[in-house]
A and B are shown apart, each in its own frame.
Chain A
Amino acid sequence: MNKTFFAAIIGLNLAVTAQAAPSLEEMWELIQQQQAEITQLKTQLETTEQRVTETEVKAEATIAAVEEVSAGPVAKLADWADKTSIGGYGELHYNNLTSDNSNESKNEMDLHRFVVFFGHQYSDDLRFFSELEVEHSVAGDDQNGEVEIEQAFIEWDYAENHRAKGGVFLVPTGIINETHEPETFYGVERNSVEKNIIPATWWEGGAMFSGEFGEGFSYDAGVHSGLFIDPTKLDSDEAPDPDYKIRDGRQKTSKAKADDLAYTGRIKYTGIPGLELSASAQYQTDVWQGEKFAGEEDADATLLEFHTIYNHGPFGLRALYARWDIDNVIESVKPGADEQEGFYIEPSYRLTDKLGIFARFSEWDNQAGDSSDTEKQQYDIGLNYWLDERVVLKADYMHEDVEQGDEFHGFNLGIGWSF
C-alpha cells in the first residue's frame, strides 16, 4: 500500500517539473525579448548621452553669452545708468489778469518753466548734480525766454553728516528757493515776497558747507559770487528806471562780476515731524561790485530771513519774513531802496489726499527805507489737485493792492509735473 502511494507521489512531481521548465522555443523567444530590450536600452543610453552633450554645449553657450553680457558694453552702460540720474519738472501757466488802475492786462498762456536734472554718483562720497532750465519756452534774441543753468555742482561728503559743494548752486535761503517743484507749493505762480525780496529763484557760484549738528539741527555756510545791482542800467526805454531792486542784481553766474563776494549762513531745525524753523543771513560786500554812482561807492548789504513751515494732519502753515539792509549810498539811485522787506503767511488745508485749498497774504516793499507809500499787498486763494503725487493741477484767484504802479486782479490756472 505504502509503496504504491509513494510511487504515485513521485510520478506526480515529475509530471509537474516537466510542465514548469520552458521549452527550447520558449527559451529562444525569451532571449529574443531580452535582446530587444537591451537594444532599446542601448538606443536610449545613446540618446541620453547625446542630450547630455547637447546640454553641455548649450550651458557653455549660455555661460559665454552671460559673460559677454555681464562684461560687455551693455553691462557697462547699465553700470553707468545706475550711477546717473535724470529728472525734471515743468509748469504751464494761464494768466487772466486785469488792472484796476490802468489799461494793462495780462492774458497769457506760458510754458513758464521746463527743467531737466542730470546727476552722477562718482562714488558713495562724491556726486554731481545739475539743473538746466528753459524759461518761457523759446530763448534767443528778441524772444521771451532764457536758457539757464541753475545748478551745476560737485558735492563731497567729507565726513559723516557733513558735506561740501563747489560750483553753481541755489542759495540756501527762503522756502521755495531750493524746493520749487510745482507739486510742492500752492499757487500757480511762486509767491511775490520770495520773488521780489529774496530774490527766488537765486543761484550763485562758489563753495558751500552743509551738515547736521545734533538731532534735527542743520547748517549751511559758504562763500559765493554776489549780486550786481547796476545803477547805470535802465529797466526799459519806455519807463527808464535805474536798477535798485534786489532782484535786479541776479547775475545768474553768467560772466558774473566777482570783485566783491558774498557770504551766506543758515541754521535750520527739522527735528519734529511736520515742523521746519529756519533762519538765514547773508552779507554782500558790495552790490555795486566796485562801480561808482553819483560819486558814491561801496554798497554793502545784509539779508536776514526767517521762516517756519508746519504741517500737521490736513493743516498746513507757511510764514516767511525777509529784510535787506543796503548801504545808504543806494538812495542816490532810488529813495528808500536801502531797506527792502516783505512777509507772507499761507494757511492751507488738505480736504482729501488729492485736493488741497490755501489762502495767502503777502506784503512787500522795495523802497521801505523812506516814508513814501510804496508797499504792495497781494491776496491769493486757490486750490491744488494732485492727479498723481508728482502731477498737479492748480487754480487761484489773486488781488493786488498797490499805491504805485499797476494793480492786477484775476485768476491763474496751471499744470505742473516733476519726475
Chain B
Amino acid sequence: MALLLVAALLFSSTTLGKGVYQTVPEFLTEIFAPEEPQQDYLWLTPELKASASEIINHPVRGLRIRYWRSDEKTVWVMEEIGKELPITIGVVVSQDNIEKIKILAFRESRGWEVRYAAFTAQYQGVKITPYNKLDSHIDGITGATLSVRAVTKVATLALHYHQQVSQSESKQARNKQTQDKESNQLVTEAP
C-alpha cells in the first residue's frame, strides 16, 4: 500500500488544462492550415432551437453558435456532458458529411475510449437523414455508453447546423439570382 502511494506521488504532476488533448486554435490550424478560416455565427432561431433540442435531447441555450469555415467546409466545436462533466468535441463537416471528429478535451474518469481514433473513425463519411439521425450505425464502448451518446449527439447536431448554413446560403443565392434577373428585365424593358 505504501509502495503504491509512493508510486502515485512520484507519478504525480501538474498538467496544464486537465484532460485537454488539443486546444481549439490548434485544432483549427490542423484542419485549415495554411488557410485562415473565416469565423461566422449561426443564429439560433426558435425553429432551429427546437430541432437542435430534439437532437441533443435537452434545451439548447444561447442566441448564436460560432463556427469556422472555408469554402464548403465548416468546423463546429461544442461541449456536451457525458455523465457528469463536459466533453469538448470538434466536428469537421464537408459537403454534408463528417470529415473528421476529434475529442479536444475529456474530463470524466470513465469513457475515455471515445477519444481513440479507432472510435472516432466510425463517424467519417456519415451523413444526417431527413429524420435528423446519423445514416450509419456507431458501435459503442461498454461502460462508456453516455460518452458515446454525447459524441453521437454532437456529430448529429454539427451536421444539422451545417445543413442550416448550406440551406441559408442556397436561399440567399437564389434570392440574389431572382433579384439579378428582375434587374435585367427592368433594364431590358426600360424605354
Q: Hey, which bits of chain A sit against chain B, CB under 8 A?
A: 85, 87, 119, 121, 124-125, 127, 155, 157-164, 175, 178-179, 184, 207, 209-210, 212, 215-216, 221-223, 270-274, 276, 309, 311-314, 389
Contacts and interface: CB of A to CB of B under 8 A. Distances in A.
A313 B13 CA distance: 40
A163 to B, nearest CB: 6
Given A209-B4, A273-B139, 8 more contacts: A124-B18, A124-B19, A164-B4, A184-B145, A207-B4, A222-B4, A270-B143, A270-B144
B85 to A, nearest CB: 7
29 contacts: A87-B84, A121-B84, A124-B18, A158-B9, A158-B12, A159-B11, A159-B12, A159-B13, A159-B15, A160-B15, A163-B109, A164-B4, A209-B4, A216-B113, A216-B116, A222-B4, A223-B4, A270-B142, A270-B143, A272-B118, A273-B119, A273-B122, A273-B138, A274-B140, A309-B142, A313-B139, A314-B137, A389-B57, A389-B149
B112 interface: yes
A86 to B, nearest CB: 10
Contacts of B12: 158-159
Contacts, number: 83
A210 to B, nearest CB: 8
Nearest to B18: A124
A274 B139 contact: yes
B139 A276 contact: no
A271 B57 CA distance: 28
A116 to B, nearest CB: 14
Given A124-B107, A159-B11, A162-B11, A179 B143 contact: yes
Contacts of A162: 8, 11
B33 interface: no
A160 B13 contact: yes
B79 to A, nearest CB: 13
Main secondary structure of the interface of A (DSSP, over half): strand
B8 A158 contact: yes
Contacts of B1: 207, 223
Contacts of B118: 215-216, 271-273
B24 interface: no
B173 interface: no
Interface in B121-160: 122, 137-145, 149
Contacts of B142: 175, 179, 270, 276, 309, 311
Contacts of A157: 18, 109
A221 B5 CA distance: 12
Measured as residues with beta carbon below 8 angstroms from the partner, the interface class of chain B is 20 to 34
A127 B107 CA distance: 11
Interface of B: 1, 4, 8-9, 11-13, 15, 18-19, 57, 83-85, 107, 109, 112-113, 116, 118-119, 122, 137-145, 149
Closest 9 CB pairs of A and B: A274-B139, A124-B18, A273-B139, A159-B11, A276-B142, A158-B12, A309-B142, A85-B84, A158-B8
Nearest to A263: B1
Contacts of B11: 158-159, 162
A320 to B, nearest CB: 12
Given A124-B107, A311-B140, A270 B8 contact: no
B8 A209 contact: yes
Contacts of A272: 118
Contacts of A175: 142
B116 A271 contact: yes
Nearest to A86: B84
A284 to B, nearest CB: 16
Contacts of B4: 164, 207, 209, 221-223
Contacts of A184: 145
B111 to A, nearest CB: 10
A129 to B, nearest CB: 9
B139 A271 contact: no
A401 B9 CA distance: 53
Nearest to B114: A273
Contacts of A164: 4, 8
A85 B107 CA distance: 14
Contacts of A124: 18-19, 107
A163 B4 CA distance: 12
Contacts of A159: 8, 11-13, 15
Given A124-B19, A179-B143, A271-B116, A313 B107 contact: no
Nearest to B112: A212
Contacts of B85: 121
Contacts of A163: 109
A271 B119 CA distance: 8
Nearest to B141: A270
Most A CB atoms within 10 A — which of B13, B112, B118, B142? B142
A223 B1 CA distance: 7
B142 to A, nearest CB: 4
A313 B137 contact: yes
A389 B19 CA distance: 27
A159 B18 CA distance: 10
Contacts of A222: 4
A184 B141 CA distance: 12
